[in-house]
């Protein structure tokens, strides 16, 4: 895996809208947070485009992304928000341009489509981290500042990451390259030229929100039948807010346990990244990561730097 160049204070970060529109107040609050971190957000009027439930046409959104890749003054690219639409950009992007630019690309939720493209088609480490409006706009209540800065700015391993509600669903330890994102987007990619296709021995990150237990079970079953679960050494689930049945039972965790009845690796649940009620951790995709799921520890340990100093 290629690694992006580490960010430095004063670097310009391009803000693009690859998916859905956003609220202006959330957008400007997120820009203020980027400035408070020492970066200079960069955007143009295309970010405010609207096309129904999308932030402009696919061609316009892809052009904004490619312009950010080509701009030598831009050091990284971050999404305003998810929603829907990132997948439309993929046929319009050039993997060679992305790998040669070596710029960190940051987002979560629907942006999983883009992150998977970056890691698989481009061979470049990407970042499952906060969006501008959805997380950065809430300040430190919305995202974990330490992991964001460490992942993007320090050419050293992030080390152990834990959160208050992370717990062991199935005991074990394992290490491998970390891949994944929002479950809905990963499953939707199957059967397309951009299908999620992680290597054997990977650690699988699965994030989701507001999907009822039977839907989680259905999507996990699809990953199993597609052979993806069988390639995973361990699985890390996010908090899955809003995924329990409205009446309380079955719960999301019960559905996960049933769907993973034949999975033999370690399983964690409640990891605070992506859709979370806690400050969202930034996690690099495509680097060696260890899962510790024991009686004494329930954590993720990033063992490899995500960026290069040069």
In tens, the pLDDT along 228-243 reads 999 999 999 999 999 9
Regarding pTM above 0.75, the answer is: yes
Is residue 197 domain-shared with residue 117, that is, in the same domain? no
Q: Are residues 74 and 33 in the same domain?
A: yes
Residue 61 falls inside a structural domain: yes
Give the pLDDT confidence score for residue 248 in this predicted structure: 80
Upper half-sphere CA count for residue 46 (Cβ side, 13 Å): 21
Whether residue 265 lies inside any domain: the answer is yes
Q: Are residues 87 and 49 in the same domain?
A: yes
| Non-local CB neighbours of 250 within 8 Å, separated by 6+ positions | 213, 244
Q: Examine the pLDDT at 295 and tell me if it is beyond 90.
A: no
User: In which domain, by residue range, is 145 found?
Assistant: 12-153
CATH number at residue 121: 3.40.50.10740
Choose one of 93, 126, 153: the last residue of a domain.
153
Last residue of a domain, which of 106, 124, 153?
153
Residue 172 inside a domain? The answer is yes
Report yes or no on 1 lying in a domain: no
**Number of domains present in the structure of the chain:** 2
Tell whether 125 and 175 lie within a shared domain: no
Please say which residue of 118, 153, 188 terminates a domain. Answer: 153
The verdict on 135 and 70 lying in the same domain is yes
Residues 89 and 164 placed together within one structural domain of the fold: no
CB 277 within 8 A of CB 246: no
Same domain, 166 and 294: yes
Whether residue 126 sits in one domain with residue 250: no
Same domain, 47 and 148: yes
Determine contact, residues 239/201, Cβ cutoff 8 Å. no
Are both 142 and 168 inside the same structural domain?
no
Asked whether residue 145 falls in the same domain as residue 168, the answer is: no
Mean pLDDT value across the chain? 97
Per-residue pLDDT tens digits for 20-29: 999 999 999 9
Ranking 72-76, 146-150, 291-295 by mean pLDDT, the lowest is 291-295
Yes or no: say if 243 and 252 are a contact pair by the CB < 8 Å rule. Answer: yes
Answer yes or no: do 112 and 183 share one domain.
Answer: no
């Amino acid at each position: 895996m290629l690694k992006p160049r580490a960010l430095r204070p004063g670097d310009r970060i391009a803000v693009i809208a690859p998916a859905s529109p956003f609220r202006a107040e959330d957008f400007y609050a997120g820009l203020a947070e980027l400035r408070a971190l020492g970066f200079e957000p960069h955007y143009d009027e295309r970010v405010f485009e609207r096309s129904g439930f999308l932030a402009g046409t696919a061609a316009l959104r892809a052009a904004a992304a490619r312009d950010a890749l080509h701009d030598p003054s831009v050091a990284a690219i971050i999404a305003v928000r998810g929603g829907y639409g990132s997948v439309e950009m993929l046929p319009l992007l050039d993997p060679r341009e992305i790998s040669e630019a070596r710029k960190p690309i940051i987002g979560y939720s629907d942006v999983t489509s883009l992150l998977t493209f970056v890691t698989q088609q481009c061979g470049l480490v990407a970042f499952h981290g906060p969006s501008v409006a959805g997380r950065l706009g809430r300040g430190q209540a919305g995202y974990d500042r330490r992991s964001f800065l460490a992942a993007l700015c320090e050419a050293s391993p992030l080390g152990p990451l834990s959160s208050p509600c992370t717990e062991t669903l199935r005991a074990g330890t394992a290490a491998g390259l970390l891949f994944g994102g929002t479950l809905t987007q990963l499953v939707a990619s199957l059967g397309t030229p951009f299908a999620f296709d992680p290597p054997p021995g990977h650690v699988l990150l699965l994030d989701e929100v507001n999907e009822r237990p039977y839907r989680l079970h259905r999507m996990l079953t699809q990953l199993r039948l597609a052979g993806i679960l069988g390639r995973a050494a361990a699985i890390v689930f996010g908090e899955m807010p809003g995924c329990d049945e409205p009446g309380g039972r079955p719960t999301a965790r019960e559905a996960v346990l049933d769907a993973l009845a034949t999975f033999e690796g370690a399983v964690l649940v409640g990891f605070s990244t992506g859709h979370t009620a806690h400050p969202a951790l930034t996690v690099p995709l495509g680097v060696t990561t260890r899962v510790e799921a024991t009686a004494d520890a329930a954590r993720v340990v990033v063992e490899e730097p995500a960026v290069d100093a040069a």
